[in-house]
């Protein structure tokens, strides 16, 4: 029976600690709420909220426009780089064709000399 009483006592202590912790957290929330800046009451609520939304959306709009401009700049750079790479590929293709022609010419020349017995 004493172990049952000590178990109940432990549970009661844990419950009291949890309640105390919850109470202090609620108190902290209330303190934060009372110290937070408040909007003016009455008809001004709509104006204050509206101006706040306007400020936030204005800043967000400017950020979006700035990002769009940066992306357009990057797009132009990428297009220029793609054109440069394409020109280099064409240059290498021409170089490869010239090399093949040279190899064929050399091969034909060697074949012709072998045929003559030299």
Q: What is the pLDDT of residues 31-65, one digit of tens each?
A: 665 555 554 455 555 667 777 667 767 778 888 88
Q: Where are the domains of the chain?
A: 2-84
> Are 39 and 45 within 8 A, CB to CB?
yes
pTM as predicted: 0.42
114 or 43, which is more confident: 114
Please report the DSSP string for 39-102 in residue order: PPSTTHHHHHHHHHHHHHHHHHHHHHHHHHHHHHHHHHHHHHHHHHHHHHHHHHHHHHHHHHHH
């Amino acid at each position: 029976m004493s172990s049952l009483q000590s178990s109940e006592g432990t549970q009661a202590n844990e419950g009291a600690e949890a309640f105390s912790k919850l109470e202090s957290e609620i108190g902290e929330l209330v303190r934060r709420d009372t110290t937070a800046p408040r909007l003016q009451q009455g008809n001004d609520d709509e104006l204050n909220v509206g101006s706040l939304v306007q400020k936030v959306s204005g800043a967000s709009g400017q950020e979006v426009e700035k990002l769009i401009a940066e992306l357009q700049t990057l797009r132009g750079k990428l297009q220029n780089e793609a054109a440069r790479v394409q020109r280099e590929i064409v240059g290498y293709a021409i170089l490869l064709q010239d090399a093949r022609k040279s190899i064929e010419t050399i091969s034909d020349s060697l074949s012709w000399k072998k045929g003559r017995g030299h």
